């Protein structure tokens, strides 16, 4: 059962090294957390292939909501 939906802003802050966002993400239980397909696209669109390869494992741990 999904308990929370993460917005792209939190993930972007984490990827930019904002400690508060990182601590929030570390406190989540991935099996009960989701991202939307829009959030996934927003994160991946700004990355080259190498960046996408590094970030996809982070995104893949969350359930994906198709809207």
**What DSSP string describes 1-67?**
---EEE-HHHHHHHHTT-HHHHHHHHTS-GGGEEEEHHHHHHHHHT--HHHHHHHHHHHHTSEEE--
For residue 46, pLDDT beyond 90: no
In this prediction, residues 45-59 reach a mean pLDDT of 95
C-alpha 30/C-alpha 14 separation (Å) is 15
Q: What is the pTM of this model?
A: 0.89
CA distances from 36 to 19, 43, 55, 59, 60 (A): 23, 11, 15, 10, 12
Q: What is the pLDDT of residues 2-42, one digit of tens each?
A: 999 999 999 999 999 999 999 999 999 999 999 999 999 99
**What pLDDT shows up at residue 67?**
82
**What pLDDT shows up at residue 27?**
95
């Amino acid at each position: 059962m999904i308990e929370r939906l993460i917005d792209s802003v939190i993930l972007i802050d984490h990827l930019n090294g904002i400690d508060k966002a990182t601590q929030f993400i570390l406190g989540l239980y991935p099996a009960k957390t989701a991202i939307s397909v829009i959030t996934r696209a927003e994160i991946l669109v700004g990355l080259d292939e190498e960046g996408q390869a590094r970030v996809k494992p982070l995104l893949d741990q969350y359930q994906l909501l198709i809207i």
